[in-house]
């Protein structure tokens, strides 16, 4: 039986609430961790519709580490300020340094699967530890 939008949204919300301070996730990562691997756009829809002020929406970024506007676009600066206040670093390109800030999903392992697969599936490339930065990579490319 296919999950309803309400069930998907509840799963997305549970994952987003698990993201610790100083870490970020991508829309696709939220969908995958929630058990709906092809529903990244629905994560965006959920965030646009959510009116919960306590939801850490600012910790969700696009696949490149870019900030995504909500509504009129004025939230971009607010999102950046919130992330910087939590210690998230940005590369000189204005993108979140995903190599340092990307969250693996480790603290959500108690979530129940709702989608087609178990919600937490770590890959060998998905760690909580910092692994360099965009600035480091940019420097190596200049050499």
Q: Which CATH number does the domain housing residue 74 bear?
A: 1.10.10.10
- In the prediction, which pLDDT does 75 show? 85
Distance CA 20, CA 48 (A): 21
pLDDT of 108 reads 73
The C-alpha angle with vertex 102 and arms to 46 and 134, in degrees rounded to 5, equals 125
Distance CA 83, CA 103 (A): 13
CA gap 36, 30 in Å, rounded: 8
Judge contact between 61 and 68, C-beta under 8 A.
Answer: yes
| Contact criterion met (CB below 8 Å) for 108 and 11 | no
CA-closest candidate to residue 105, choices 19, 37, 40: 19
Q: Rounded to the nearest 5 degrees, what angle is found at the Cα of 107, between the Cα atoms of 41 and 16?
A: 30
Q: In the prediction, which pLDDT does 37 show?
A: 92
Number of domains in the chain: 1
Q: What is the pLDDT of residue 123?
A: 40
CB neighbourhood size of 2 (10 A): 7
User: What pLDDT score was predicted for residue 106?
Assistant: 79
pLDDT for 122 equals 42
Q: What is the pLDDT of residue 120?
A: 46
Helix axes 27-34, 5-18, angle to 10 degrees: 110
Task: Find the domain containing 127 and state its range.
Answer: 5-142
pLDDT at position 139 is 43
pLDDT of residue 82: 95
pLDDT < 70 stretches in the chain: 1, 71-73, 109-143
Q: Give the residue from 62, 142, 136, 138 showing the smallest Cα distance to 96.
A: 62
pTM: 0.76
Local structure of residue 67 (DSSP, 8 states): -
């Amino acid at each position: 039986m296919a999950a309803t939008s309400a069930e998907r949204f509840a799963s997305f919300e549970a994952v987003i609430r698990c993201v610790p301070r100083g870490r970020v996730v991508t829309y696709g990562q939220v969908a995958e961790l929630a058990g709906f691997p092809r529903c990244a756009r629905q994560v965006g829809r959920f965030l646009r519709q959510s009116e919960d002020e306590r939801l850490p929406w600012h910790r969700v970024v696009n696949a490149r580490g870019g900030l995504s506007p909500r509504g009129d676009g004025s939230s971009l600066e607010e999102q950046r300020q919130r992330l910087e206040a939590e210690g998230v670093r940005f590369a000189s390109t204005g993108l979140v340094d995903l190599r340092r800030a990307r969250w693996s999903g480790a603290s959500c392992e108690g979530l129940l699967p709702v989608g087609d697969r178990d919600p937490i599936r770590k890959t060998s490339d998905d760690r909580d530890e910092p692994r360099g930065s965009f600035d480091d990579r940019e420097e190596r490319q200049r050499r």
